[in-house]
Amino acid sequence: MGTTMNPASTSDAGSSIRRRRGRLQLILVLLVAVGPMVLATCMYTFKFWVPESRSFHGELIGNGESRVELGVQSDETRWQMLVTAPQQCDADCQQLVYLARQIQIGLGRDASRASHALSAAQPLTAQFEATLAREYPQLQRYPLDVKRYRRMAPGIELPQLWIVDPHGNLVLRYGAQVKGKNVLIDLRQLLKLSNIG
């Protein structure tokens, strides 16, 4: 006497397995789509798995402040290496002007995407004026509004080198002792990531 299977129970078992499989697939799709967003939100909120290291060498200016707020009026639409001198353009300032020009040259084929500029609060010496006229034909020059500068950069009285994006936003700031190689690495990275300028 052989056993016979009930066709109804077989089809119920098959549809139950299909339903479970379908639910599992739906859960997997949701995890793939929503999981990364939930993880990123948790990482941001609870500050875990956030890398401590940074990939740039200057001080990041991430608050949306602009070149105008710094006290410099310019309509430059390329990336700009801007040297500011809230006092005399002394030896450190002159070194940063030289460095900015060398960095632009070091950009090679991307040199046309950037410019170098000097914004000084006080008149330059006749000797430095002659040097700029002779050796820095592409250097852009602007007056520095010291009141605005000191409001935006309180306590920073030494010459600084700023990287400014094509929209006029301040991106990175470097002190007078910065190594040109580090600025060049940062600027190349910015140009690589940027679709503007």
**pLDDT (tens digit per residue) in 84-128:** 999 999 999 999 999 999 999 999 999 999 999 999 999 999 999
Q: Are strands 114-120 and 79-85 parallel, antiparallel or unpaired?
A: parallel
Backbone angles phi, psi at 136, to 5 degrees: -125, 60
Which residues 6+ apart lie within 8 Å of 174 measured at CB? 57, 58, 59, 160, 161, 162, 182, 183
Residue 190, pLDDT > 70, answer yes
- The reported pLDDT for the residue numbered 70 is 95
- DSSP for residue 121: S
Q: Model's pTM, two decimal places?
A: 0.72
**What are the structural domain ranges in the chain?**
8-50, 59-193
Backbone angles phi, psi at 61, to 5 degrees: -105, 95
More confident residue, 38 or 98: 98
Query: In one letter, which amino acid is 196?
Result: I
- The reported pLDDT for the residue numbered 8 is 55
Measured distance CA(102)–CA(96) in Å, rounded: 10
Q: What percent of the chain has pLDDT over 90?
A: 63
Q: pLDDT band for position 169 (50/70/90)?
A: very high
**pLDDT (tens digit per residue) in 139-164:** 999 999 999 999 999 989 999 999 99
CA distances to 25, 58, 59, 121, 190 from 178, in Å? 55, 8, 11, 22, 18
Q: What is the mean pLDDT of residues 51-71?
A: 81
- The reported pLDDT for the residue numbered 35 is 80
- DSSP for residue 59: E
Q: pLDDT band for position 189 (50/70/90)?
A: very high
Residue 179, pLDDT > 60, answer yes
Residue 53, pLDDT > 60, answer no
Q: What is the mean pLDDT of residues 43-71?
A: 78
- Give the closest residue to 48 by CA, choosing from 40, 60, 56: 40
Q: Which CATH class is domain 59-193?
A: alpha beta
Q: pLDDT band for position 3 (50/70/90)?
A: low
